[in-house]
Structures are given as structure tokens and as C-alpha cells.
Amino acid sequence: MEYEAVIGLETHVQLKTKSKMWCGCANEFGASPNTNVCPVCLGMPGVLPVANAEALRLTVLTGFLLQCEIPRFAKFDRKNYFYPDSAKNYQVTQYDRPSTREGFLDFEFNGGISRVRITRAHLEEDVGKNNHFDRHSGVDFNRAGVPLLEIVSEPELTSAEMAHAYLNALIELLVRGGISDCDMEKGMVRCDVNVSVRPKGSTGLGAKIEIKNMNSFSGVRHALDYEIPRQIAAVTRGEKLRQETRRWDDLGGITESMRSKEDAHDYRYFPDPDLLPFTPTEEWIASIRAVVPELPLARKQRLIRDFGLPAGDAEVLKSNDALGDFFEKAAAGGNNPKGIANWIINNLSAQLAASASSLADLRFTPGQLRELVELIDAGRISAKVGQEVLADMFATGDSPAAIVDRKGLAQVSDTGAIEKICDEVIAAHPGPADDFRAGKGAALNFLKGQVMKLSKGKANPGMAGEILERKLKG
């Protein structure tokens, strides 16, 4: 019998806020242990939480990015459990009334667009971090109380590759929306994976097995690449899989059983008596809806549709917001968006990389880059001279036309001047000239190259070719 995997992801991302969820402590990575703490995030008795408005805003914005419904009533609940990293012995989360629910994410996979439904994206608080040393362990509470969004997908992913593509698209969306920096190395994104297997074509779900402890996207992929065949082998042997939580061992490359999976009632969820239900106003929700940015995939599709860009170019411009914005400004009002995209992706990016600078440092405008491409398109300068002009624009911020005039770079389209250079080239290279006369067409390219060289790139290449050919054949 053939089996297929059914995968759902729970992705936790730290929100990009200045302060923590319930107190004014800084939400920052890398501070000395237990320096960003106060009685609230340490869970001292008698303290009261005050909700972070920006975290609530980012949660609703994420809801819009994921096409979710935004309930007008949400609440916060306590999830009760004991663990050293949670001094309060509970974690505040949203149990049955989350701030967003029932959305979807479209992403590119296998040459097409896949859609995975989003069950919910709810707000909760992060917990502290256990650090283990040689002979003792410590708990760092700097992370305790940092706002965390848990994004739960429906179990609709069917392979490790698909899960990977989904995660990439999700992260791109969250970064684009300014929701989170999603820096995995700083622990800003953590994933739990639910995976089960079932006979291909059936609709039921097998025993749900949760895998924890993947600290990279490749970890998610490797864990699934191990776990799916493990489950298929087990059911093929006739074993009955039990619901459980397994831990991914990155070094060993295996998953191992941690505990039989607890059910929701084990956590004794109840509404947090210190926190009011969250009942946003229509105006507030509308003000967030008004600033929802265009989704990365939508931008890529629009760049292809409206500007006629090749998919590869649109992918580059979609993956880098600033570059995409620069392109759209440059292409607006011009008639060669493909040429402009080409100059941005190849030449401008290279110059930026070479000078270790960013678009924000540029001394010229997108419109001036368009002018440069127009000078080339109009035959006033060659593409090669265009490179020199671009370098000058980097250095001086002058307009391309001014640079061409100042340096005398305008292409020579004066027949007499080009004829003179062609005569010189033919006289200096009798061998290739004879080759061409003998029928070796490639020799013409060499001679043309010499004309360009002698004219310092200024000769109109088309005219140079025509004149050479005429002279050699005549």
C-alpha cells in the first residue's frame, strides 16, 4: 500500500516590538542574562500586566497578511504547566478565542501556486531560556514575556519540500510586513511540526505526532525526511502509532520519543483574570487594513503582468523590497522596463555590492537610472559606456546626460569619423581582413571590436559593422 504524509506547522515568531508584551522591559536580543527583567516578566506575585498595543496591532496586521478573519472579540488565557523557564507556572496565550483565524497562504511550489489554509495566528508570550553549563543550569528571563505569534497551518502540506516552501513564503511575508525580523539564529522563529501518514487517497488522519526542537528550516526538512519514512515503515509492519511528542536530534539526525502527547485539557486553560478581553473597534481595524502592504507573491505576479518582466527578474525584485521599489519608480513613465530591470539587477546591484553600500546611500534617483537606459536605447551611448556613466553617477550624483557631455562620451554616429577609424583598423590588421574576405564571418567581429577599442567605445557599433563590411567587400 502506498502512504502519504500529512503535515501541519506551528510557527512561532517573535514580534518586532520595542518592549515586551505585558511590561516595559526591552525586547532585545543578546543582552546579558536577566538584565531585561522586572517583577511583571519574572512573574512576581501581585503584579498586573498591561498589554502592548503595538503587539496587538502587529497581530491583526498578520491576520490581514494571511487573509484571516479578524474577530471583534478575542481573549487571553492561561496555559498552566510547570517548567523552570516559566516562573509564573503558566503562559498567557489565546486558547479558544484567538485574534485572527481562518486564513490562507499562497506560495510557489513545484512550478505552480499552492494554497495552505491557516487555522489561526494567535498572540502569546515567550518564556525564559534554560542554559545548561558543565555542572549547573541557569535560566535567562530576558526572553520571558516577549510577544510571540503562533501561526498554525491546517494539516495540508504533503512533503518536506512543500513544508519548506511554505515556511519560506511565510517568513518572507512576515519580514515584508514588518511583523518580525525572523532571524532564526537569534531564535526569533521556532517551528513545531505535526506529521502523520495515511494510505494515499484516504481522507482520515493517522495518529498525530508532534516533532519539536528544530532550530533551522533545514532542521524541519531533515526531521521530516527522517520521520515520514519512519512512520510509513512502522505502519507497514503493522504497528499502531500512538499520539506522541518527539524530539529532533540534529546531530544524530533522528527523532526520538519525548512523551505521549498531552491533550489540551491537561493544561487546564482558563481566561486570564488580569486581562480584559480584546474587543477592537472598527476604526482601529480599518486603520490597520489601510496599511497592509502588497504580498510578495502578488508583487511578483504584478511585475510580470504589468511590466512584462521575465519571472527570474520579477523574483529578484520581489525578494528585495528596496530594489523592487527602486525598479518601479525607475520604470514609471519609461518604455523599457525590461532594460531598466536588467540594469538594476545586473549593474546597479554589482556596483552596490562592490562599494558595500545600499540603495539608501545612492546619490542619484530612480529617474536618473531610467535616463541612462534611455540614452543607451536612443543610441547616444553604448551599453559599455553606460557602465562608465553609471560609475560616475555613483561618485558624483550627476545626471547621465551631464556626465556624457562632460566626458565627451556621446557615441560617434558621424559616418566620416567612423570610416576613418575603420580604414585604420583594416590597415593595421591585414590578416583578419583577408580572413573575412575569404569568407570567415567571425573575423568581422574581431575588427569591429578593434574599431570600438580605438574609438574608446564611442563608435556606433551597428554603423561600424556596416562600414567595415562595405569596405572589405568593396
C-alpha distances in Å from residue 2, one per residue of 201, 280, 412, 458: 9, 49, 70, 67
State in angstroms the smallest separation of the CB of 341 from Zn ion: 47
State in angstroms the smallest separation of the CB of 18 from Zn ion: 13
CA distance 300 to 472: 49
Residue the block writes with cell 551611448: 381
Q: Which is nearer to Zn ion, 38 or 254 (CB)?
A: 38
State in angstroms the smallest separation of the CB of 79 from Zn ion: 19
C-alpha cell, 418: 567612423
Q: Which is nearer to Zn ion, 44 or 395 (CB)?
A: 44
Q: Which is nearer to Zn ion, 40 or 390 (CB)?
A: 40
Length of the chain: 474
DSSP H or E run through 375: helix 366-377
Q: Which is nearer to Zn ion, 23 or 170 (CB)?
A: 23
State in angstroms the smallest separation of the CB of 95 from Zn ion: 23
C-alpha cell, 336: 523599457
CA distance 241 to 230: 11
Q: Which is nearer to Zn ion, 31 or 38 (CB)?
A: 38
Compute how many other C-beta atoms are within 10 angstroms of the C-beta atom of residue 229: 13
Q: What is the 3-state secondary structure (H, E, C) of 137-180?
A: EEEECCCCCCEEEEEEECCCECCHHHHHHHHHHHHHHHHHCCCC
Q: Which is nearer to Zn ion, 38 or 184 (CB)?
A: 38
DSSP H or E run through 298: helix 296-307
State in angstroms the smallest separation of the CB of 4 from Zn ion: 46
269 phi, psi to nearest 5 deg: -60, 140
State in angstroms the smallest separation of the CB of 43 from Zn ion: 10
Label residues 320-359 b or e (16+ Cβ within 10 Å = b). ebebbebbbebbeebebbebbbbbbbebbeebbeeeeeeb
In the complex, the residues that contact Zn ion under the rule CB under 5 A are 23, 25, 38, 40-41
